[in-house]
Structure formats: structure tokens, C-alpha cells
A and B are shown apart, each in its own frame.
Chain A
Amino acid sequence: MIMTHPGLPFYWQVIIVVFMLLVSVRAMLVPPPSKARHYGWPLEQVPLVGLLVKFLNRSPWPLLFIKIVMVAVFLTVIIAGLNGTPVPERNLATVLTWNLWWAGLVVAIFFLGSAWCAICPWDALATWLVRMRMWGRGRLNNSLNLKVPKWLRSVWPALLMFMALTWFELGVGVTLDPYATALLSLVMVVMATVSLALFEDKAFCHYFCPVGRTVGYYSQLAPVALRPVDPAVCAKCTTLECYHGSENVEPCPTHLVMGTLKENTFCTSCGNCVQSCPDSNVSWHLRPQTVEVKQDARPNWDDAWFMLGLLTLTSFHGITMLPFWYDGMSEFGVWLGDSGRLLLSFSLGMLLIMFAPIAVYALLVYWAQRWTGKSVRYRQAFSVLAFAMLPLAFSYHIAHNLNHLVRESHDLLALFINPLGTDTQPLSMMEKHERHLQMYISQDTLFLLQGGLMLFGFWMAIEVIRYRGYALYSDRKFWVLPIIVFAILIHGFDLWMMAQPMTMRM
């Protein structure tokens, strides 16, 4: 029997649709201000939170301690996955990896930006193994420090890895297989370690890691970021410790200079710049969530594809959890003559669902271009307007994941006490029903959060279209229409999915 979670109520659907129409009409009629305002507050000055930030900034030890805890949990996940029960809901590996971490990660970005990358156990293990130090500048002997080949210096590898991860997750069913979950974790550690041993800096985090890039792009929308306390100090700096590192601190793993840093995409929040700056001029800042994606982030062809990939694969996740997905796949499998595992049908379905919306987007950008007399190069328009897709993907992703987090992440204490699930039985129907009813927050609160996120995401997307589009085609009045149509189509589809019952994962 398939258990499902209820979808967003009708009144929320009406509110969101009306809001989408109003905001869209406004975007076509009211041009934006010429520049988005920059303002921010150093988190160190915020009461209570400031104390925590100061504590974290003061020395590397708090971060190292958290890394050690994360690595210990990660190794437990691997051991539980390889040696524990194959029952997914009783094994720490599957529940922690897919129900808590993978679902919670996107929610965490909303508050903490790319902070996850700073405590990532894959990178921590790789760094300790290659640098042979837990903290500080490591020995050069253990890495060839090769430059990453030019053809790999983009986020295309990360996009392919993200597609592969989705395929394993939803097609092969790794989420329900503790053993495969552990294998996947091991493969990531091996890749991170080999990459660090071969290439200079953190090439794996920069170009290859699907999770790191997802975190990176989404954290463009985060309210916190590492930035200079006083930009004037950075402007006068000639030694650039944030970039080169210092005697004891490693250089920036992704080649960023704090004085010119305007986007979070490649910042891994490792804190090296905080530790190495001789003027203590780097710290966490609170900032408006839209300014980077509206104005500061630089458009690139590969970045645009990754953001569009995030958008479509996020929706694809939702589609696979609709109750009728499996029947549809079966029909498709029959038509293809696929076997019972439906891997071919799934793969083709995934590619179709991923690339069909991108093709529509490409056509609508072309339409916008034609409309404006091709005053802008097609690639540029494609890359710039893709930023508008980021808030749509992010808001739907969090709203969807909240269901997993609030309704499915139960019995964690029992799982930590018995991570291998020794002598446990699969969940009975009664236990499943109990879980279904025991939510961390009330259902109305969950709907409020999900509805609010869908409103916020669409508003942000339209703001991006206004700012970015106006900067592209300032002399045309209705240049935004094709992209707004696309945003309405995508968000409308995501809203429709949110309104459907969602299949419980485990």
C-alpha cells in the first residue's frame, strides 16, 4: 500500500495563482530602479548571533570540531549501510542521508548559505588524507597540483554528476537501499580524494561536486555571506592573504578574492579568508536575499545550464513522487518493451522531463530576442535570464523537501542508538500510519510555510526578470513577457504538483 501526504489546500492554490498574476502584470508595467540597493549588516553586530559568529571566527578549532563530528557520523552511515539491515526505514544510512540530510540541506541553505560545504565530510576526509593535516597549510608533496584541464573548467561536470545522482536516487532506488547509499558515499570520498591529490586547490568542490554546486547556486539566494567588513581595507590590500593564504592558513580553495567577491556561487564558507586576513576584515554578513541574483552574479553559459538543470530536475523529483508516476512509467515501459526494473523507461523519462522545459525556455528567449530586434546576443540573453529560474527551483525545492523533513524524519534517536537496525523489523502499517500523523509542526503551519515559499519564490523570480531583463532590453516595454510566461508555466506546474498527494518515501 502506498502512503501519501496531502497536498496544498485549494485556498492556498487560489492565493498563489492570484499573486502570480498580479506580480506578473506589475512587472510588465513598472520598470525597476536602475540599480538594486546594496545593504548589509555584519552578523557580529547582531545580538546573540554575533557572539556565536565571533566564537566561530576567532580560531579554527570550533570548525574543526564540527568537521570531526560530521566525519564520525558519515563513517557511521557507511558502516551502517554496508553492514546493517536492508530495511531502509530501520537503517541510519538511508534515513539520515535521504530523509534528513538531502532534504534538510536545501532548507539549511535558506538560512546559512553555503555553510554545509565548510563542514562537508567528503572534503574533510579528502583534505586530511591528502594534506596529512587536520588544520593549517598542508605539505605540497601529497598533491600534484596540476591545473584542471581547460575543458573541465566549468560546471558541466557537476551538472552531469547531478544528473547521475538523480538517476541513482530515483531510478535505481538508492534512497531505499542502505548498501547502495553507503557505496555512493564511498565513491564520493574517493573522487574528492583523488581530485585533491591530482589537481590544485579544491577542484572537486569547484567543478565536479553536484552537491557543492547545488549549494553554491542556491546560496546566491541566501541571506548570509562572507564579505569584507570594510571594503576600503580590501581596496588598499596588496598582499591578498584571502587569495594566497598565509603561513599557517591554506589559500582560498576556489580562487576568490574577498575585495572583489560579489557572488556566493563558488564560496565554500571554509573560513580560510577569515583566519588569514591580517586586518580581521572578513566576516559573515546579513544581506537582502535577491541582490546577488538580480544584479551581482555574472552570467555564464554553463552556469545558466546548471541553474536550468536544477529547475527541471527539482520538478522531476516532485513528479516521481506523484502517486500516478509509477503507473505512467509502467505504461511507458510497456510501450518501450522495457523490463520490470524500468531503468530504460526511467532514463528516457528523466531526460525528456529535464530537457523539454529547457527547450521551451530556449524558444521563449529566442522569442524575446526577436521581439527586441536581436539587440542582444542569444547566448547572453539565455544566460542572463536563467537567473530568474533559480528562485523558482529553490522555493519549490524547499517546499517539497519540507514534506520529507516534517513528516518522514522520525525516530532519529532510535536510529542513532541502533544505527545498523540490528534485530529490527520493517515498519508495520500501524507504525506507518502513526508516523504519518506525528508531524514536527502542525499541518496548517506546514501549508503556511509551503505557501509562503511558493509566493516568495515567484516574487523573487519576477524581480530578477525585471532587473536582469531591463538591463538587457531597456528600451522595450514588453520584453519580459516570454520569460514571465515561462516562469508562470513552471511555477504553475510546481504549484499543481504541490497540490497533489505526495508519495511517502519510506
Chain B
Amino acid sequence: MVIRNLLLILICLSTTTVFGHHVLGRPAYSLSDDSNTPPSMQVETQIGDFYVTYMAFPAFPQPGQQGRLNLYATHRDTGKPFDGQVSFVIKDDKWFGGHQEALGTQPIDDGVYRQGFLVNNAGDYIISASFSSNGEPYKIDFPLRIGQVSGIGPIGIALIIIVVALVLVNVLQRKRLLRGKIQAAHRDAP
């Protein structure tokens, strides 16, 4: 019993204070931090007069899994948080075309703009956050990957291009050789 109490005191004395940055009542960890919880994806950028930090929870959301975005925007000179409204839009990360859908418009809540999302299809997406300050429009794009993007697609496309090119070339070359032989035969004919 005495030994147990001594051990307890020793453990308590050796424990150092742990600092955690709390958002929504639970610790939020960026990709670079130590954590025993799933990491979040954090991106920091600067646009116009604002420093913007964006966090996605979880860092690598799966299709059908509820996720959340937190966005902080603070004024570069004064350090005051932006207090207007921020609109969130999600769109396919494609060079041409692609579907776009509004996620919502959020007011500030304790210095943070919180936006939930749920995406059912795996793929690469872009989240656009827009707001305006002093009549100036601001738009920030962040990449978001949902689930595991299929690796078979690109390999399949590459293989198809190569096979089609090789077959076409082979057919053309055979025709070319055959034509050459026929022409040679005509020339040699008496």
C-alpha cells in the first residue's frame, strides 16, 4: 500500500503540464503535431489584409464520413478576427468542367467559421471560402481529398493509350511494308 502511494506521488510529480489548443471543446492537432487522435489537415495562407488558417477534420476523410472545416481569418495589422460571413463551396478538382455545390454560409462563432461537410464519392475536391471586407472580395481555395482515389484509372488510361498507339503503328507499318513489296513486285515484273 505504501509502495503504491509512493509510486502514485512519483508519477504525479514527474508529469509535466500539457498544453493543448482547443477548438470546439476538443484538442485539434495539425498534421505536424504529436497526437493520439487522428490528425487534421491544416493550411495557412495570407490573402489581402488577412491571415487565413484552415483546418479539415479528419485530415483524410472517407466517403460518407462527416467532416468539418474550421476557418480562422485575422487582420494582418491589427490581429482582430474577421467578423463578417464566410461562404463555403465545394467543387471537383478538375481542369475542365466539374460539379460545384454550395456548402453553406457561416457567421463567426467564437473567432472561428465552422462548416460541416459530407461527401459520398472519393476524389479530389476544392473547397472555396469567400468573404468580402471593405468592399474587397476575397476567395481562398483549399484542396481536399476524400477517400482513396482509385489507382487503377490512371494506369488503365496509360495502358490504353500505349496499346492503341502500338496497334495503330503496327497496322500502318505492316500496310506500308506490304505496299512496298507490291510496288517492288510490279517493278520487277517483265
Contact = CB atoms under 8 A, between A and B. Distances in A.
Contacts of A86: 60, 145
A144 interface: yes
A130 B167 CA distance: 10
Contact of B162 (A1, A194, A339, A425): A194
B106 interface: no
A485 B82 CA distance: 49
Nearest to B161: A190
A194 B47 contact: no
Interface stretch (A13-21, A326-334, A386-394, A487-495): A326-334
Interface stretch (B14-22, B97-105, B149-157): B149-157
A342 B31 CA distance: 22
B140 A327 contact: no
A78 interface: yes
B158 A186 contact: yes
A428 interface: yes
B118 interface: no
Contacts of A143: 169, 173
A142 B155 contact: no
B128 A339 contact: yes
Interface residues of B, number: 40
Contact of A194 (B45, B52, B165): B165
A198 B169 contact: yes
A86 B144 CA distance: 11
The binding surface of chain B is classed by DSSP as mixed
Contact of A142 (B39, B129, B173): B173
A412 interface: no
Given A190-B161, A339-B128, A339-B140, A330 B32 contact: no
Given A82-B151, A142-B169, A193-B165, A428 B158 contact: no
A334 B140 CA distance: 11
A492 to B, nearest CB: 29
B8 interface: no
Interface string B73-92: 00000000000000000000
Interface in B38-64: 39, 45-48, 52, 59-60
Interface string A316-343: 0000000000110011011000011110
Interface string A291-307: 00000000000000000
Interface in B157-190: 158, 161-162, 165-166, 169-170, 172-174, 176-177
B98 to A, nearest CB: 15
Contacts of B166: 129-130, 142, 193, 197
Contacts of A142: 166, 169-170, 173
A79 B172 contact: no
Contacts of B174: 141
A333 B47 contact: yes
A252 B142 CA distance: 48
A231 to B, nearest CB: 39
Contacts of B46: 326-327, 330-331, 334
B128 to A, nearest CB: 7
Nearest to B162: A193
Interface string B121-151: 0000010110000000001111101001111
A81 B155 CA distance: 11
B34 interface: yes
A189 B139 CA distance: 37
- Residue from A194, A197, A333 whose CB has the most chain B CB atoms within 10 Å: A197
A242 interface: no
B33 interface: yes
Given A142-B169, A144-B172, A340-B45, 12 more contacts: A78-B155, A143-B173, A179-B149, A186-B158, A190-B161, A193-B166, A194-B161, A327-B46, A340-B142, A341-B126, A426-B39, A432-B32
Nearest 8 pairs of A and B residues by beta carbon? A82-B151, A340-B140, A330-B46, A83-B151, A426-B31, A428-B34, A197-B169, A340-B141
14 contacts: A81-B151, A129-B162, A140-B173, A143-B173, A144-B173, A179-B149, A183-B154, A190-B161, A197-B166, A340-B47, A340-B129, A341-B126, A342-B45, A427-B32
Interface of A: 1, 78-79, 81-83, 86-87, 129-130, 140-144, 179, 182-183, 186-187, 189-190, 193-194, 197-198, 326-327, 330-331, 333-334, 339-342, 425-430, 432
